[in-house]
Amino acid sequence: MKDFSRPRERIQFTIDGDLFEAASAVPAEILVQFANQFNDVSTKSSSPDELFDALMAVFELVLLEDSYTRLRTRGRDRANPVEIDQLSDIVLWLLEQYGLRPTKLSSSSSPGPVSPASGMSSTDSTPGVASTSSALVSTGS
pLDDT per residue as tens digits for the range 90-131 = 988 998 898 876 544 343 444 444 434 444 444 444 444 333
Determine, yes or no, domain membership for 123: no
Long-range contacts of 93-98 (CB under 8 A, 24+ apart): 93/13, 93/126, 93/129, 94/11, 94/22, 94/34, 94/62, 95/34, 95/35, 95/38, 95/137, 95/139, 96/126, 97/11, 97/22, 98/26, 98/31, 98/34, 98/62
- From CA 15, how far away is CA 131, in angstroms rounded? 15
Task: State pLDDT tens for residues 42-75.
Answer: 666 567 777 788 888 889 989 999 999 999 999 9
- From CA 45, how far away is CA 59, in angstroms rounded? 19
Determine, yes or no, domain membership for 90: yes
**What average pLDDT score do residues 30-35 get?**
82
Determine, yes or no, domain membership for 108: no
Determine, yes or no, domain membership for 115: no
More confident residue, 55 or 40: 55
- Range of 76's domain? 11-97
Determine, yes or no, domain membership for 57: yes
Determine, yes or no, domain membership for 107: no
Determine, yes or no, domain membership for 67: yes
Determine, yes or no, domain membership for 111: no
Task: State pLDDT tens for residues 15-30.
Answer: 999 999 999 988 888 8
Write down the pTM of the prediction: 0.64
pLDDT at residue 73, as a whole number: 95
What is the number of structural domains in the chain?
1
